[in-house]
Amino acid sequence: MGTLEQTVETEVHHGPARGITRWLYTTNHKDIGSMYLWFSLLMFLLGGCMALTIRAELFQPGLQLMEPNFFNQMTTMHGLIMVFGAVMPAFVGLANWMVPMMIGAPDMALPRMNNWSFWILPFAFCMMVATLFMEGGAPNFGWTFYAPLSTTYAPPSVTFFIFAVHMMGISSIMGAINIIATILNLRAPGMTMMKLPLFVWTWLITAFLLIAVMPVLAGVVTMMLMDIHFGTSFFNAAGGGDPVLFQHVFWFFGHPEVYIMILPAFGIVSQIIPTFARKKLFGYASMVYATASIAFLAFIVWAHHMFTVGMPLAGELFFMYATMLIAVPTGVKVFNWVATMFRGSMTFETPMLFALAFVVLFTIGGFSGLMLAIAPADFQYHDTYFVVAHFHYVLVPGAIFSIVAAVYYWLPKWTGNMYNETMGRWHFWLSFIGVNVTFFPMHFVGLAGMPRRIPDYALQFADFNAVASVGAFMFGLSQLLLVYNVVQCIRVKRPATAEVWEGAEGLEWTVPSPAPYHTFAQPPLVK
């Protein structure tokens, strides 16, 4: 990032409208960003309650609290809500708030469509959560909704699930188109592509992934709908179709989806670490190329989720080696973060703590991913708690920690007030310990053979499961500190400066805190 000319005009021609219509009719990227973030928080707490229901049942072997069918509904809804309701909208909310401010744009490229992207989501999730109260119960086939569980053996509510997924897809595609158009078209003069903050770069690539794979998800649920209601046989071998076809199409969406949930996290961490190390990001260009490489590889590794399903040997080998390749660009990133910190003047405010934990814990998740990538070894790990441990390590201390880090990092810019640092640190340490206590033991029970998605288990897994449940409640309850801290940050006046952080660089820190309702009506000049 070059030095910035301090002639940024922050023209205030009109503030927000009053009352509820401000939120219903808004075209303002900051309003829409805030709505995305609040919605995501709500979904995070709801999905979290479902996770705690699961952990409560698993505290002891045997069935204590619920029917197996309800347990299956909980695992399904927990996964769907966390992926589509919590993590994805949180990143879109952050993009809405920050991308225009980081590139010197007046707003998003297509502001009305932006609001439509958001408002579809609450309705889609109302419909999805409503399936819990329908005859036959909610979807119970896991968030991956494999056929024939989701077709031949599905409860009737699957139809509503399908249409809810369609709505989320429409929302995501429109949101992604908006972000791409904004980044490509609304950069301030002088903001060349290779000067873009890394958060913007990662989101550009994420948006491309979204536009490429959300339609494929729409396609696969449409084929399900046809199989269930209109007599086709896409996923039924009796008609010449193949249930494995479902898995191929689903994971062609599903694997890039995994990177949709982690690339923006890479971007966030790449913003935060330089700030608190008070050094420029090490290897900016290599970060950009690594992100692009990961996005490319995302399209050619999908079948590593299906090693045990029956594939030609050549397929197993191709997908194994392609998957292992991903470790290279990911390694580039981790080394760059470490090198950024090397001999930096480090301080450890809450955003930095979460970012550091991200680097360490995400790397653990990455390594267990490498273990799973080895096809012959995966025959042992497949569908065990080891897989659960793996993807929770990349999603909770990965995606979620990065979102929390971003919230603490930019909260003073959004509200104009500093959050409570002491409470932030308590939140961090409780989350850090809670996350590891919850998910680390899952590696052990998984390697010992405990299957996933099961409400009861053999006695030898009891101790580790009890520990994991205690950790889960610790983690879950400590998130209330975040809610309290955010609310207090809005209410208690503890004015923040424009720059907020001593080492922060970028256009967003040149505007006052809180950022005015309209920033950069005239584009700033970036040198």
Burial class of residue 325 (count of CB atoms within 10 Å of its CB; 0-12, 13-18, 19+):
middle
Which window, 19-27, 70-78, 84-92, 289-297, contacts other proteins (CB under 8 A)? Answer: 19-27
- CB 168, min distance to other proteins, A: 11
- CB 524, min distance to other proteins, A: 11
Return the residues of window 116-155 that contact other proteins according to CB under 8 A. 116, 118-120, 122-124, 126-127
Which window, 41-49, 107-115, 284-292, 454-462, contacts other proteins (CB under 8 A)? Answer: 107-115
Asked if 360 is part of the footprint of other proteins (rule: CB under 8 A), the reply reads no
Return the residues of window 410-449 that contact other proteins according to CB under 8 A. none
Return all residues near 151 (Cβ < 8 A) that are at least 6 apart. 158, 224, 227, 228, 235, 236
Sign of CA dihedral 167, 87, 381, 468: negative
Helix axes of 385-394 and 421-447: crossing angle, nearest 10 degrees: 150
- CB 500, min distance to other proteins, A: 26
Contact pick of 2, 15, 112, 456 for other proteins (by CB under 8 A): 112
Asked if 376 is part of the footprint of other proteins (rule: CB under 8 A), the reply reads no
- CB 444, min distance to other proteins, A: 34
Contact 156, 135 (CB under 8 A): yes
Contact 5, 14 (CB under 8 A): no
Residue count, binding to other proteins (CB under 8 A): 86
Return the residues of window 177-196 that contact other proteins according to CB under 8 A. 177-178, 180-182, 184-189
Helix axes of 111-130 and 68-80: crossing angle, nearest 10 degrees: 170
Return the residues of window 268-327 that contact other proteins according to CB under 8 A. 310, 312-313
Residue whose entry in the numeric block shows the structure tokens 């909704």: 145
Positions annotated as catalytic residues are: 78, 107, 143, 171-172, 255, 257, 259, 270, 304-305, 330, 333, 452
Which window, 44-52, 243-251, 284-292, 470-478, contacts other proteins (CB under 8 A)? Answer: 243-251
Contact 415, 394 (CB under 8 A): no
Asked if 379 is part of the footprint of other proteins (rule: CB under 8 A), the reply reads no
Contact pick of 197, 398, 434, 523 for other proteins (by CB under 8 A): 523
Return the residues of window 153-182 that contact other proteins according to CB under 8 A. 156, 159-160, 162-164, 166-167, 170, 173, 176-178, 180-182
Report the b/e string of 246-270 with b at 16+ CB within 10 A. bbbbbbbbbbbbbbbbbbbbbbbbb
Q: How far apart are CA 444 and CA 15, in angstroms?
A: 55
- CB 6, min distance to other proteins, A: 18
Residue whose entry in the numeric block shows the structure tokens 């309702």: 517
CA angle 261, 263, 269 (to 5 degrees): 110
Burial class of residue 407 (count of CB atoms within 10 Å of its CB; 0-12, 13-18, 19+):
buried
Contact 135, 122 (CB under 8 A): no
335: tokens are 């080394």
Asked if 495 is part of the footprint of other proteins (rule: CB under 8 A), the reply reads no
Contact pick of 4, 8, 26, 76 for other proteins (by CB under 8 A): 26
Return the closest-CA partner of residue 102 out of 525, 414, 506, 511: 506
Asked if 12 is part of the footprint of other proteins (rule: CB under 8 A), the reply reads no
Of 162 and 268, the one with the shorter C-beta distance to other proteins is: 162
Return the residues of window 192-231 that contact other proteins according to CB under 8 A. 211-216, 218-220, 222-223, 225-226, 228-231
- CB 454, min distance to other proteins, A: 27
Q: How far apart are CA 383 and CA 168, in angstroms?
A: 27
- CB 184, min distance to other proteins, A: 6
